Chains A and B, each alone.
Chain A
Amino acid sequence: MSSTSNRSVFSADLVGPALWQSVVKLDPRQLVRNPVMFTTAAVALLATVLFVRTVLVGGDVLFQAQIVFWLWLTVLFGNFAEALAEGRGKAQAAALRSTKAELRGKRVKGDATQEVPASELRKGDVVLVETGDPIPADGEVIEGVASVNEAAITGESAPVIREAGGDRSAVTAGTRVISDWIKVRVTVEPGTGFLDRMIALVEGASRAKTPNEIALTVLLTGLTLIFLIAVGTLPAFAAYAGGTIAVPVLIALFVALIPTTISALLSAIGIAGMDRLIRFNVLAKSGRAVEAAGDIDTLLLDKTGTITLGDRQATEFLPLSGIRDAELMEASRLSSLGDETPEGRSIIALAGRGEATPEGAEVVGFTAQTRVSGLDIGTRRVRKGAVDAVLKLHAFEPAAVRELRALTERIARAGGTPLAVADGERLLGVIHLKDIVKSGIKERFAELRRMGIRTVMITGDNALTAAAIAAEAGVDDFLAEATPEDKLELIRKEQSGGKLVAMCGDGTNDAPALAQSDVGVAMNTGTQAAREAGNMVDLDNNPTKLIEIVGIGKQLLMTRGALTTFSISNDVAKYFAILPAIFVALYPGLGALNVMGLASPESAILSALIFNALIIPLLVPLALRGVAYRPQSAARQLVRNLVLYGAGGLIAPFLGIKLIDLAVSGLGLA
Chain B
Amino acid sequence: MDHILLVSLIVGGAALLSFPLGRYMAWAMDPQSPNRWTTLFCKIGGASDEQDWKRYLVTLLVFNAVMFTVTFAILALQQWLPLNPDGKGALDPTLVFNTAASFTTNTNLQHYSGEVSMSYLSQLAGLMWLQFVSAATGIAALAATARGIAGRASLGNFLIDVQRASFLVLLPVAAVVALLMVFGGMPMTLKGAAEATTLEGAAQTIARGPVAAFLAIKQLGTNGGGFFGPNATHPLENPTFWTNALAMVAIVLIPMACVWMFGRILGRMRHASVIFAVMAVFLLVKITGSVAFESGPTPAFAGLPVSEATGNLEGKELRFGATGGPLWAVLTTATSNGSVGAMHDSLNPLTGLMPMIGMWLNATFGGVGVGMINMFLYIVVAVFVAGMMVGRTPEYLGHRIEAKEVRFAILALFAHAILILGGTALFAGTALGQATVQEAGPHGFSEILYEFSSAAANNGSGFEGLGDGTGAWNIATGIVMLLGRYLPIILPLAIVGSLTAKRRAAESAGTLGVEDATFGTMLALTVVIFGALTFLPAAALGPLAEHFSLP
Contacts and interface: CB of A to CB of B under 8 A. Distances in A.
Interface of A: 211-212, 214-219, 222-223, 225-227, 229-241, 291-292, 294-295, 297, 449-454, 495, 497-500, 553-555, 557-558, 560-562, 564-565, 568-569, 571-572, 575, 579-580, 583, 586-593, 629, 633-635, 637-639, 641-642, 645-646
B387 A561 contact: yes
Contact of B388 (A450, A561, A575): A561
A579 B444 CA distance: 20
Contacts of A233: 421-422, 424-425, 537-538
Interface stretch (B288-296, B316-324, B411-419): B411-419
B511 A646 contact: no
Interface string B288-312: 0000000000000000000000000
Contacts of A591: 548
Contact of A558 (B388, B398, B429): B388
A629 B390 CA distance: 10
Contacts of B413: 222, 226
A553 B391 contact: yes
Given A222-B406, A237-B541, A583-B540, A564 B414 contact: no
Given A212-B393, A218-B410, A241 B541 contact: yes
Contacts of B513: 634-635, 638
Contacts of A453: 508, 510
A219 B410 contact: yes
Nearest to B391: A554
A499 to B, nearest CB: 5
Interface in B410-441: 410-411, 413-414, 417-418, 421-422, 424-426, 428-430, 433-434, 441
Interface in B512-528: 512-513, 516, 518-519, 521-522, 525
A77 B399 CA distance: 36
Given A218-B403, A450-B509, A565-B385, A291 B393 contact: yes
B342 interface: no
Contacts of B355: none
B545 A237 contact: no
8 contacts: A212-B402, A222-B410, A237-B445, A297-B508, A498-B504, A587-B545, A592-B548, A642-B386
A256 to B, nearest CB: 12
B446 to A, nearest CB: 11
B384 A571 contact: no
Contacts of B405: 215
B518 to A, nearest CB: 5
Given A453-B510, A498-B398, A633-B509, A226 B414 contact: yes
A239 B442 contact: no
Nearest to A641: B389
B421 A295 contact: no
B533 interface: yes
Nearest to B504: A498
A558 B386 CA distance: 9
Given A229-B414, A554-B392, A558-B391, A634 B544 contact: no
Contacts of A560: 388
B389 A562 contact: yes
B428 A240 contact: yes
Instruction: State which size class the interface on B falls in.
Output: 35 or more
B522 A642 contact: yes
B401 interface: yes
B5 interface: no
B516 A635 contact: yes
B273 interface: no
B425 A211 contact: no
B421 A230 contact: yes
Contact of A497 (B385, B428, B506, B536): B506
A215 B414 contact: no
Contact of A638 (B401, B519, B530): B519
Given A216-B384, A495-B503, A589-B549, 20 more contacts: A212-B388, A215-B401, A218-B407, A218-B410, A219-B406, A222-B413, A230-B534, A240-B448, A297-B510, A451-B510, A498-B505, A558-B389, A561-B386, A589-B547, A590-B540, A590-B548, A634-B392, A634-B510, A638-B518, A646-B525
B109 interface: no
Given A219-B381, A587-B442, A638 B406 contact: no
Nearest to B434: A240
B385 A637 contact: no
Given A240-B429, A642-B522, A452 B510 contact: yes
Contacts of A222: 406-407, 410-411, 413-414
A564 B506 contact: no
Task: Determine chain B's interface SS by DSSP, over half rule.
Answer: helix
Name the 7 nearest CB pairs between A and B, nearest first: A452-B510, A561-B388, A554-B391, A589-B548, A236-B429, A222-B410, A452-B508
B281 interface: no
B528 to A, nearest CB: 8
A211 B384 CA distance: 12
A232 B421 CA distance: 9
B529 interface: yes
B410 A223 contact: yes
A448 B389 CA distance: 17
Nearest to A234: B537
B504 A583 contact: no
Contacts of B434: 240
Contacts of B521: 642
B387 A575 contact: no
Contacts, number: 237
Contacts of A219: 381, 384-385, 406, 410
A639 B518 contact: yes
A564 B442 CA distance: 35
Nearest to B506: A498
Contact of A236 (B384, B425, B505, B506): B425
B410 A583 contact: no
A564 B387 CA distance: 12
Given A498-B398, A590-B540, A638 B505 contact: no
A500 B505 contact: yes
A230 B531 CA distance: 12
Contacts of A450: 509
Given A558-B391, A561-B387, A239 B519 contact: no
Given A215-B402, A229-B418, A564 B385 contact: yes
B1 to A, nearest CB: 31
Contacts of A236: 424-426, 428-430
Contacts of B402: 211-212, 214-215
B262 to A, nearest CB: 22
Given A215-B406, A236-B428, A229 B421 contact: yes
Nearest to A221: B410
A178 to B, nearest CB: 42
B511 A452 contact: yes
Nearest to A210: B393
B92 to A, nearest CB: 27
A219 B411 CA distance: 9
A583 B545 contact: yes
Contacts of A295: 392-393, 505
A239 B541 contact: no
B548 A629 contact: no
B509 A449 contact: yes
Interface string B236-269: 0000000000000000000000000000000000
B529 A589 contact: no
Contacts of B525: 569, 642, 646
A225 to B, nearest CB: 5
Contacts of B429: 235-237, 239-240
Contacts of A218: 403, 406-407, 410
A451 B544 contact: no
Nearest to B526: A568
